[in-house]
Amino acid sequence: MSIRGKVFLITGATSGIGRETAVLATEGGAAVSFLGRNKSELEHLTQQLNKSQKVALPLHCDVTKKSQVRQAIEKTVQNFGRLDVLVNAAGIIAAGTIEDTSTAAWNEMMDINVTAVFHLMQFAIPHLEKTQGNIINVSSVVGTRSFPGIIAYSVSKSAVDQLTRCSAMELAPKKIRVNAVNPGVVVTNLHRRSGMDEKKYAAFLEHSKTTHPIGRVGEPRDIASGILYLADDAAGWVTGVTLNIDGGRHLTCAR
């Protein structure tokens, strides 16, 4: 891979897909600035990534705070001298239908899953233009397919997909590529943090084996590998793509 020497900024990097992307990027020779709200997890990941050399910069950041986002990008460039890749992996999920989703729950979903991504992209553009860098947004299979019971989450990921496509067209003249990955069910803390207890989560994962044609749920490395492909120069002619990495889930009907 040709990511050696590149600088990544990764949100949601203290767990799941974001964390695995940070690990794979540093293994590939990249430097990583990673954002999260859990200070202890930030410290733990820093120790893991900086075993051999200082390639990781932890930044405590709430991505819904515009000023903190701007500072995180500025600190990344100050520390490493450049920015090549922005990975927007922070996100939340919550159950709710059109009838019972509260305005507060709706707004929180949009703030974290969409508005934060929008601001990060905006602030990163001047730096990515200098390096002809790229952006990868972590979306979901629900951005391209309809499922009941998670309406705010589904709408937020559809918005991320359209943000990806529209900005890819607008930023192409600046030689900035913009893509998204659309995972199916992946074993992370996402569903647990939504309030799903361990028993329900185990049953959900078992059922999900039947809803993904390939016969298993995903692991964070499945998605992180796709992210690194899109970040790589090998994908230099790829932009505006929403890449399903979902074991074929997007091919099926809701069940």
Distance in angstroms (rounded) separating the CA atoms of residues 48 and 218: 23
Q: What pLDDT score does 61 carry? A: 94
Q: What pLDDT score does 1 carry? A: 59
For residue 244, the surrounding DSSP H or E stretch is strand 242-245
Tokens of 218: 């995903």
Distance in angstroms (rounded) separating the CA atoms of residues 244 and 249: 9
Q: What pLDDT score does 103 carry? A: 98
Residue numbers of the chain with a pLDDT score lower than 70: 1, 52-53, 191-192, 194-195, 254-255
Distance in angstroms (rounded) separating the CA atoms of residues 140 and 221: 15
The residue with tokens 């397919």 is 145
Tokens of 46: 């820093």
Distance in angstroms (rounded) separating the CA atoms of residues 169 and 37: 32
Torsion angle of the four alpha carbons 143, 144, 147, 152, in this order, in degrees rounded to the nearest 10: 20
Domain boundaries, the chain: 7-246
Contacts of 184 (CB under 8 A, 6+ apart): 141, 208, 212, 217, 218, 244, 245, 246, 247, 249, 250
Distance in angstroms (rounded) separating the CA atoms of residues 31 and 50: 10
Q: What pLDDT score does 191 carry? A: 63
Residue among 31, 39, 24, 123 nearest 74 (CA): 123
CB 250 within 8 A of CB 145: yes
Q: Reduce the DSSP state of residue 232 to 3 states and report it.
A: coil
Helices in 28-101 by DSSP H: which ranges? 39-49, 66-80
The predicted-structure confidence for 198-233, as pLDDT tens digits, reads as follows 888 788 788 889 889 999 999 999 999 999 999 999
CB 168 within 8 A of CB 235: no
Q: What pLDDT score does 49 carry? A: 86
Query: Looking at 8, 34, 123, 153, which residue is catalytic?
Result: 153
Distance in angstroms (rounded) separating the CA atoms of residues 107 and 104: 5
Helices in 149-241 by DSSP H: which ranges? 151-171, 190-193, 198-211, 220-231
Active site residue 201: no
Sign of CA pseudo-dihedral 25, 28, 32, 37: positive
Q: What pLDDT score does 133 carry? A: 98
Q: Which CATH number fits domain 7-246: 1.10.287.3510, 3.40.50.720, 3.40.225.10, 3.30.830.10?
A: 3.40.50.720
Q: What pLDDT score does 76 carry? A: 97
Distance in angstroms (rounded) separating the CA atoms of residues 145 and 147: 7
